[in-house]
Structure 1
Amino acid sequence: MSTAMEASDGHADPGSYPLPRGPRVNLGCGPVMPRDWINVDGSRRAWLVAHAGGLDRRLVRLGLLRATAFQKGIVHHDLRKPLPWARDSLAAIYSGEVWEHFEYEDARRLTEECYRVLRKGGVLRLCVPDGVEFWENYLVMFLEEQAREPASRDVARLRRHVRMYFDDICTRPPGLKSFGHFHKWQYDEVQLVDLFMRCGFKDVSRQAFGVSRIPDIGALERSNFLIVEGVKP
């Protein structure tokens, strides 16, 4: 795939890339459900809305459930299983803050599935928390506290940052607080670009928030974290 559609800084030119025709899929959509996209989520609440919407609404009226952002048309799917689309059938796939919730090998298999179902020229775009930023922030805090006299150091701020890692990021075996809500891997640009390339994608690069080969990415993207995009050749 030619890189002629990219700007001089290496980022995709959003106004010129010829995205192929076909459905576009928003994997792990959560409350972000733009029109003209197939919105997919694997949560129990998404299952209830997808398969028993009337029951969901009754439970909300009775005060047994809170109102949900999931709407009629939500597709429930366990992303650990093969994607429910034919080979070479989709134009684009976006996923925001989802890949980090899988063990690395599960994420690799899911990336391969995205490659399978995308058409030639189709685009995969992922947004995940940036591990480099996490540890850079820790290092800044560490150096600030190290420069102070021991008696005046705020050790608690370092402990809070480390605790965040073990509470929200550190891998947990299945069954031990591992229901998809905790991070099971920490990515950086090198790892994520490599994952794309290992699964067959070309023209893989980090992209800026809101800058994409996918023309209406602003309808989906909510986080300015580590964003990587690649093309199926």
Structure 2
Amino acid sequence: MTQNAEWQTGSEPAEWTWDEPDPGWHAPCRRLEATGLTSPLDRADLAGIGVTGIQFGSWDGRDPGCLNTDVIGLVDGDTRTEPGQVYRVDGCAYFVRLDARDPLPLADGCVDWAYAEHFIEHLTLAEGIGWLREVRRILAVGGWLRLTTPDLHRYVAGYLDDGADGFFARHRRRLMSLGAKPGDLPERKAFMVNQIFQFHGHKWIYDLDELRHALGAAGFDPDAISVRSFGRSALPHLAALDRAVRNDETMYVDVRRTVTADPRDQ
């Protein structure tokens, strides 16, 4: 896994590593400004800073229309983000440090959309379902969740593919273009399958059926789940958050928060 280099801080890019960042690590940014907003947050709080949605696992997010969140904090010189406080980052986006395994410090129905790219696989299945239940709670009725995650089906198909230029060969080239060295990527099929489970801090890998199970267990309507592709979404601005660097291994799903009642809401 590499740190995202799609925005620049003036520091050198991180070296390639299979490891997830240490939760105590703080990512550098140019400027942090405290907004005075602290959790719990409601719709009026978010509207006051022009935010309509939330993005998870995005310490490096610079989308101005959403509240970026991560367990990883940010640092600007001697200033570090404190959990639960909302910061303006680099003059263009908003961030709050939180742990998505905990109840989300946001009011019911306070956002119109949520986005999580390669995030849910960093949670156990039980944690993932609990997080999805919280996402459903904070989404307004009619709101959308876009969820992307490594596709187990694609990896299994790659294992069974005997072609010389199959998925594993192509994905290996993709990883090397991001900084991996040939020694980091043994040409063994079992290694390529195991790394998606064992490295990066991953805890549960999904195919479509497993993702449908988790979403249904969290209270989402199974009929409101739509399979999408890279750069394609019910809401174009959500698809614009997809990163091309991950599109070869990724499953893309849109889910709408319907009016269907969930007994757990009572």
TM more than 0.5: yes
- TM-aligned CA deviation for residue 184 of structure 1: 0.8
TM-score by length of 2: 0.59
- Check if 1:190 corresponds to 2:209: yes
- TM-aligned CA deviation for residue 76 of structure 1: 0.8
Kept in 1, the 8 Å contact 2:125–2:214? The answer is no
Match of 1:160 among 188, 205, 212: 188
SS of 1:95 mapped into structure 2: strand
> Aligned partner of 1:135: which letter?
V
**Larger RCO (alpha carbons 8 Å, 6+ apart):** 1
C-alpha offsets along residues 64-95 of structure 1, whole Å, 9 cap, x if unaligned? xxxxxx74632111111111110111100000
What aligned pairs does 1:198-209 form with structure 2 within 5 A after superposition? 198-202=217-221, 203-209=224-230
Match of 2:11 in 1: none
Q: Distance in 1 between matches of 2:225 and 2:208?
A: 11
Change (3 A) 1:212 1:218: closer
- Check if 1:232 corresponds to 2:257: yes
Q: Distance in 2 between matches of 1:168 and 1:136?
A: 14
Match of 1:92 in 2: 113
> Aligned partner of 2:235: which letter?
I
Between Structure 1 and Structure 2, the one with more strand by share is 2
Match of 2:172 in 1: none
Match of 1:169 in 2: 197
Q: Distance in 2 between matches of 1:106 and 1:168?
A: 18
Kept in 2, the 8 Å contact 1:24–1:91? The answer is yes
Match of 1:78 among 89, 99, 114: 99
Match of 2:138 among 117, 126, 146: 117
Aligned length: 174
C-alpha offsets along residues 90-129 of structure 1, whole Å, 9 cap, x if unaligned? 1000000000111110001000000111110011110000
Q: Distance in 1 between matches of 2:192 and 2:159?
A: 11
- RMSD of the TM alignment (CA)? 2.7
C-alpha offsets along residues 39-76 of structure 1, whole Å, 9 cap, x if unaligned? 11111xxx243xxx34169xxxxxxxxxxxx7463211
Q: Distance in 2 between matches of 1:105 and 1:159?
A: 33
Gaps of 5+ in 2: 1-46, 81-88, 166-184, 259-266
> Aligned partner of 2:190: which letter?
V
Match of 1:219 in 2: 240
Gaps of 5+ in 1: 1-20, 58-69, 145-156, 171-176
- TM-aligned CA deviation for residue 162 of structure 1: 1.6
Q: How many percent of aligned residue pairs carry the same amino acid? A: 29
Between Structure 1 and Structure 2, the one with more helix by share is 1
Q: Distance in 2 between matches of 1:42 and 1:71?
A: 19
